[in-house]
Structure 1
């Protein structure tokens, strides 16, 4: 197991168990104490975990948005169903954009074996998932957001308009009929706005907990979104409301 994989596994274990002892982690990962301490030092320096007496725990999130590591393992079944449904919209030969986010990450697993597929992304986990596949991978260049494991880009350092993207798969933190989709971070919103503007078709991948929320930064109104794919736990009162918009609401069933 590579160091990055081990470190992600540590985060996943801590998200589930909250607090773990050093001995529990070495047994779970089947590694030496010295190897574990190196991984823990890296995660501590990144601000992702906190050391406590005899063990470690996840660092407390200081903002309204939960950490990427928490989101990567929460509502996982729903996110997997959403990703599987969205993968049906991807054809061989497509050039698609996969946004940074815990839900959009899941689609990478379903498209990695497609032929003649080009994936543009700003997500480090997506890039790692596709690294050893036959997918043509284009990584957006810019500033690394360590807490989100993503890259945020600006026009002066990345020429967005050179991209020819057929389909964009976008994440968000909030969805309302009146205001469309929104997110907590301005820098992430800039990249999402740009990719929505450039892409021929826009799919928003959002689990049901995002509906009815209008958070810090507006990304796009619904008239800019072709389709929102969510899980079957969505409040049914939203279904007739979406029928009055130009945005298709697709529910990924079991």
Structure 2
């Protein structure tokens, strides 16, 4: 196993167990203590983990929003199922918007064989995923949020009102019946609001842990959202509440 693979595995294990002993890691990864120590030192320097007596733990995010790297491996199975369900709504010849985020990123993996597809995005990981495919790529020009690997403040370089976006796939950090969808970052929220305004159909792709949360910046009320796609872990009371709204709630299955 290469160092990067081991380090990713360490983070995946910590997302599940939160705290792991050094002895557990050496057995799980089948490496020596010295090799493991080098990986842990690097992850510590990057601010991703914290050493404690006899083991390590994840560093808690300071401002509520976890990093994109953490979210890429958190609830991964659920996000893949959500993305696969989203891909069923994408047809050959569509022009779509894929938002920055760990759930919407997964959509890119399922659409590489679509014909005459145009993807507008502000997500650098989405661009990297689709770079060697036949998908036509349009990336928002503007300021790069390095920690989120996204591009915001689109008005710097491009007039997106000229684009005919059929479907926008948007992420959210919080979803409530009363307030709709919300996010932690103002610039991300502004970009999402603009894409919702420009697009004919709006899909929100979010795992079930985002429901019941109303975080810092409001993006859109539910009457602006056509489809809400989430995983099968969503509590029943949310399902019942959505029946009273105009938003179509779609549950991805195992």
**TM-score interval, smaller chain:** 0.7 to 0.9
Equivalents in 2 of 1:161, 1:154: separation in Å? 11
Matched residue of 1:251: which SS?
strand
Q: Which runs of 5+ in 1 are unaligned?
A: none
TM-superposed CA distance for 1:253, in Å, is 1.0
TM-score by length of 1: 0.82
Deviations along 1:19-56, one digit per CA (max 9) or x if unpaired, are 899xx8xx99xxxx9xx99xx59x95xx5547979x99
TM-superposed CA distance for 1:156, in Å, is 3.8
Q: Corresponding residue for 1:91? A: 91
Q: Corresponding residue for 1:248? A: 248
Matches within 5 A, 1:1-254: 10-11=7-8, 13-17=10-14, 49=48, 60-254=60-254
TM-superposed CA distance for 1:132, in Å, is 0.5
How has the CA–CA distance of structure 1 residues 57 and 246 changed in structure 2, closer, same or farther, with 3 Å as cutoff?
same
How has the CA–CA distance of structure 1 residues 60 and 137 changed in structure 2, closer, same or farther, with 3 Å as cutoff?
same
Question: May I ask how many residue pairs the two structures share in their alignment?
Answer: 238
TM-superposed CA distance for 1:60, in Å, is 4.6
Equivalents in 2 of 1:159, 1:7: separation in Å? 39
Matched residue of 2:119: which SS?
strand
Equivalents in 2 of 1:117, 1:68: separation in Å? 26
Determine if contact 2:142/2:156 at 8 Å carries over to the other structure. no
Deviations along 1:57-79, one digit per CA (max 9) or x if unpaired, are 86552211111111100111111
Q: Which runs of 5+ in 2 are unaligned?
A: none
TM-score by length of 2: 0.82
How has the CA–CA distance of structure 1 residues 101 and 49 changed in structure 2, closer, same or farther, with 3 Å as cutoff?
same
Runs of 4+ aligned structure 1 residues displaced above 3 Å come to 5-13, 17-21, 47-53, 55-60
TM-superposed CA distance for 1:147, in Å, is 1.1
Deviations along 1:93-146, one digit per CA (max 9) or x if unpaired, are 000100000000111000011111000111111111001101001111111111
Judge which range, 8-17 or 181-190, deviates more: 8-17
Determine if contact 1:174/1:213 at 8 Å carries over to the other structure. yes
